[in-house]
Structures are given as structure tokens and as C-alpha cells.
Amino acid sequence: MKTIRLTTAQALVRFLVAQKIVVDGRQEQLFPGVLAIFGHGNVTSLGVALDENRNKIKTYRGQNEQGMALAAVGFAKAKRRQQIMVATSSIGPGALNMVTAAGVAYVDRLPVLFLAGDTFVHRIPDPVLQQAETFSDPSITVNDAFKPVVRFWDRIVAPEQLLQSLPHAVSTMLDPATCGPAFISLPQDVQAQSFDYPEVFFEEVVHTILRPRADVSELDRAIKTLKQAKRPLIICGGGVHYSLAEKQLAEFATKHNIPVVETVAGKASLLASHQLNAGPVGVTGCESANTLAAQADVVLALGTRLQDFTTGSWTIFSNEQTKFIGVNTARFDAVKHRSLPVVADVRVTLEEMTAALASWCAEDSWSKLAQSEVAKYHSYVDGIAKKDSSKLATYAQVVGVADRLAQVGDYALTAAGGFPGELNNGWRAKSIDSFDCEYGFSCMGYELSGAWGAKMAMPNREVISFVGDGSYMMMNSDIYSSVLYGHKLIVVVCDNGGYAVINRLQVNQGGVPFNNQIIDCDVQNLVYVDFAKHAESMGAIAETVGSIDDLEAAFIRARKSDRTHVIVIKTSSNDWTEGGSFWEVGVPTTSHRKEVLKAGEEMREGKKKQRLGW
């Protein structure tokens, strides 16, 4: 067998370069880039290997390890899991900074390859710089912190271990049933060690998307259940996007006359104008979708984890007799809440289901009810998005500007705070796959870093990031990254004086405003940030506007800009889109405040409507 002598780091990079994938009929790099912040744990070996291959795999300099890894998550989402970015850090704080981003990728079922430097296997210089020693187990380093939030974890303690570890990591990330982040720990001494690797290990491998088909008995049972339905409803989750099943979803819903509601991750699976799109469902959803959920007798759940924000903490499906069919590549998700599981790819399953259902379709009265309800939803959104110069702008009005001025291909992106609810309702998709709201982990800071990653993935689309002042303060340095690398974004910053949505939750559950809005904190100097000047200092074009009319004009200017354009507007901290559903949170059962006790009573009353399951 022919061999080639390489360091562990060189072999790792050469293997990544050899991995290809078929995307839209074209061969692409499976790993098109590496987001890196170098330190003593990865610069002297992995950094050298990346430099040697800089014409084959691009390396981007990150500003913050969490931010660059969140960019990798945003990239994976925009690419719909067809390509994977690598994020690498040194040991210690650099590695731990990436754990949060790994959690996002893990919860959202998105592939990212994490590579972190580690201490020396031989341990002679211990404790080394940035090493956190564990008294009872010297084999533990901070890299073990990744174990709960990755699908694959390994520490390479001998160069030849790459031969087994790397293929398993890639397989895990590409399998739709196990898709999520992979982590490989790279001790400094092992990175530098050489080994005679078989040349076959570096031969080009072309991957394709796996489309597992359903067990025949599971599919038959699902078909029989659907045929008995009088009021069927489709919930489409992120799995619809990852299966590239949007066309099949539209055809299936239309042929069988079944209304569709969307989760946050599944939004933009159907055009908002589609006659059977009944809107977003759940806590951040609308009344039309939740009304249908309450009346449905069979729910076809496509590629969704059925998170509490989707189910209203399991209160919106008020009919205890409602049957669920769970179509998911992961059996863990497919069987939730007594669902009839169909463990399979969404696209293939919809094709097989529609063939088996033949001419069966739901009654017109059910779809007409859906259309009547969704018309009320659109009327409500149009109403709250109207301009009103007599008071401070609301999030709904800000989203309304983007919604009115949106062009086909625009991609809206947000994460935590007030924007998930506002965009989930107010951004009405004019094109398929035009929305990313990181709401599985609800990670503040994703709004800017994730947008940078999305723009890497889609350089020809307009990526619009919606971010509140709280998230902006947590993580903003990738505005600089986007300028450095020419990844132009439109960023809309809503300044409502703090963590306004959590303040809303605090007050609505009987508490007093405390430590959320800056004005309610025990500060010595009440100072507010000039976000436009801050963004401008990082090379962005930036402006502050004073009204919705001014925002519209600024948005048009931003579309014409040649680099990231940040628009800042002060917004109300108290005006939010209503609708949605019950959401269970912990409210004290003992308190000196009668408002808290009342909120607790209401919470316990709401819990009586919960559908019990597992």
C-alpha cells in the first residue's frame, strides 16, 4: 500500500479537502472553509497545514470564537445542511467560547465541525498555559465540555486515529438521523507528530444527501389514519427545508386540500400567498394557525421536534383524540406524544404518501375555514404594521417596512428577544427558504454572526439581519468580519433600551421591572449606546433614523450599498404583536406580591389544557 508521510494536522486538512458533495447536480466542496482564531494550541501545526492548503480551502479570521462558530451554524442553515464549515480554536477559553455555538448546532440539528487544540498527551509540561486541571482525572480538559452538545466527540491521541475518527465524524454530520455538530480535540504534540498515512485515505469521496425510506407497515398505518381524517393539518418544521421538500409539500397540500401551518424553523416552506398556508403556529404564531390546531383531528408533523413554542406547551391541540403522525429521520422525534412514527425522509415520504392517497382529499369546508382564518391574520398584521408618526415605532412596524419592501430572494434572519415573534408573524415569505430564526436554542448574538455565515453561503442574496440592542451588545464583532470579507449585510437594529421582551415576561408574570431595561438597573451612570457610531467604527455604513418613513428610505439606500449597512431606530419597549398561545414558565407559588400569586393561578389554570404525553 502506498503511503505518504504527513503530520496529523496536515492529514486532517488533506482529508477535509478530499470530501466533495453533490449540490444541485454539481460537485462542491463538502468543507468549503475554516473559521479560525489561532492560538498556541492550533497555530503551529493546524495553522501551518491550513496555510499550505489556502488555495484549496479558505480560512476566515474570526473575531470571537463563539461568533465565528455561530457563523458556521448560519452557513449550514442557509446551505440546508449540504455543506459544512469548520471552526477551530486554541485550547482553554477559545475552545470554551465555542461550546455555546455547539449547543446551537446541536439543538438545531445542524452540521459544524469543531476542531480545538488541547494539552499535551505526554503531560510533561503540565499545567500548560490555559489548562484547567481536574484534580481527580488528569485526562479531562475543557474540551470534555463539548460532550453534551455534539453528536460525535473524539480526542486524537495518536496520528493514526484519524483513519477511523474522521470518516465517522463526516458520516454522523451527513446522516439526517444524527445530523449535528462533530468535535475533534487535537492535543498540541499529536498535531505535530508524523505518520505514514495510506494514500487511499485522501482519495476524493463524493457524498450525496441520504433519503431513507419509511418502513412499509409504518407508512401504511399513517395512510390509513390520514384517510380517516375530517380535519387534517400539516405542521412543517425545519426538516422540510433540510429535505429540500418545499415543492413536494406544496403539491401534496394542494392535491389533498390540507391546510399547512409552519414552525419557526419551517417558516418559508410555503409562500405566504399559498392558499393553504395558514400561518405560523404556537406561542409566536397567529390565531389562524392555532385555531386550526385546536380543531384538527389528524396532524401530519413533518420534520419538527414539536418544541414548546410550536405546541403552546402542549395546550393548542385541545382535542385529546387528535392523532399525530410523526415524519422524521430521527425516531426520537417521530414518536413524540404518542405519534404514529414514519421514520424517513420528508420529501420521499410525501411522494409515497400522495401516491398511496390517490384522489383522497380533505373536505372543502375545512380548507375554507383555514382561508377565512388566515385572512383575519393578514388583516391584523397589516393593521399593526401601519405607520403611525404620533408615537415611537414598534417592532411590528419595523418588520412591516422590510415586509413591504422585500424582493424575491431576500433572506431575513434573527434569533432571540422580540424579533422571533414579530418576524414570524410579520415577515410573509415571497420566496421559499427566505427565513432563518435561531429559536431552538434562542441564542442571543446569532443575529449578526449567523447573518455573516448566511451571506457566505448565499453571496448573491440580500441577507437582512434583525437585531435588538441587547443582542447587539452581546455580540457585534462580526459586523467587522462582514466588512473585512466583503459579505454585505443589511442590519436593522431596534433600540428599546434593554432586554424588553424579558421585561415583558417579568411584568406579565406579576413581577416588577428589575434588571432588564437599563433604566431599571442599579447603575451609577445612565448611558445609552450610539449603535450607528459603533457600527461605523467597524467599517460599516451606518445611520440612525427617527421614524418609519425614514426607515423606509434608509432601507432603500442600504440595498444599494456596497458593504454592510446598519440602520438604527429607537422602538417602543411595550408594544408587541398579540396572538400566540399559552406558554408554561415557572411562577412562584409563594410571594408577597398579589400580582405574582394571580399570575401563578392563571398559569395553573392554563396547564389544565395541556395534552399529556411523553
Q: Are residues 364 and 480 in the same domain?
A: no
Q: Are residues 419 and 565 in the same domain?
A: yes
Q: Are residues 40 and 130 in the same domain?
A: yes
* DSSP annotation of 335: T
Examine residue 352 and state whether it is found in any structural domain, yes or no.
Answer: yes
Chain-centroid distance of CA 381 in Å reads 24
Q: Provide the pLDDT for residue 395.
A: 97
Judge contact between 441 and 112, C-beta under 8 A: no
Q: Which residues of 439-451 are buried (b: 16+ CB within 10 A; e: fewer)?
A: bbbbbbbbbbbbb
Q: How far is CA 23 from CA 28, 32, 516, in A?
A: 7, 13, 45
Q: Are residues 186 and 237 in the same domain?
A: no
With CA atoms as reference, report the closest residue to 381 among 403, 413, 406. Answer: 403
Domain at 201, CATH number = 3.40.50.970
Q: Which of these three, 154, 175, 207, is where a domain ends? A: 207
Length of the chain in residues, anyone? 614
Chain-centroid distance of CA 314 in Å reads 22
Examine residue 522 and state whether it is found in any structural domain, yes or no.
Answer: yes
User: Domain span at residue 487?
Assistant: 385-570
Examine residue 502 and state whether it is found in any structural domain, yes or no.
Answer: yes
Examine residue 584 and state whether it is found in any structural domain, yes or no.
Answer: no
* DSSP annotation of 303: S
Domain at 349, CATH number = 3.40.50.1220
Q: Are residues 261 and 158 in the same domain?
A: no
234-269 residue pLDDT tens: 999 999 999 999 999 999 999 999 999 999 999 999
Q: Which of these three, 570, 587, 608, is where a domain ends? A: 570
Q: Are residues 349 and 404 in the same domain?
A: no
Examine residue 585 and state whether it is found in any structural domain, yes or no.
Answer: no
Would you state the torsion angle of the CA atoms of residues 168, 173, 179, 180, taken in this order, to the nearest 10 degrees?
A: 100
If one counts the domains in the chain, the total is 3
Q: Residue 334 is placed in which grid cell?
A: 417521530
* DSSP annotation of 315: T
Q: How far is CA 19 from CA 163, 254, 407, in A?
A: 14, 39, 35
262-307 residue pLDDT tens: 999 999 999 999 999 999 999 999 999 999 999 999 999 999 999 9
Examine residue 608 and state whether it is found in any structural domain, yes or no.
Answer: no
User: What averages of pLDDT result for each successive group of 10 residues across the chain (614 residues)?
Assistant: 97 98 96 98 97 98 98 98 98 97 98 98 96 96 98 98 98 98 98 98 97 98 98 98 98 98 98 97 95 97 96 92 96 95 98 97 96 95 90 96 97 96 96 97 97 98 98 97 98 97 95 96 95 98 97 98 98 89 95 96 93 70
Q: Provide the pLDDT for residue 580.
A: 82
Q: Provide the pLDDT for residue 319.
A: 87
Q: Are residues 9 and 146 in the same domain?
A: yes
Examine residue 139 and state whether it is found in any structural domain, yes or no.
Answer: yes
Q: Are residues 326 and 242 in the same domain?
A: yes
Q: How far is CA 256 from CA 118, 231, 372, 373, in A?
A: 55, 12, 18, 19
Q: Are residues 169 and 237 in the same domain?
A: no
Q: Are residues 418 and 525 in the same domain?
A: yes
Examine residue 105 and state whether it is found in any structural domain, yes or no.
Answer: yes
Q: Are residues 392 and 527 in the same domain?
A: yes
3-state secondary structure of 572: coil
Q: Are residues 146 and 50 in the same domain?
A: yes
Q: Provide the pLDDT for residue 614.
A: 52
Q: Which of these three, 318, 346, 376, is where a domain ends? A: 376
Secondary structure (DSSP) of 480-508: HHHHHTT---EEEEEE-SB-HHHHHHHHH
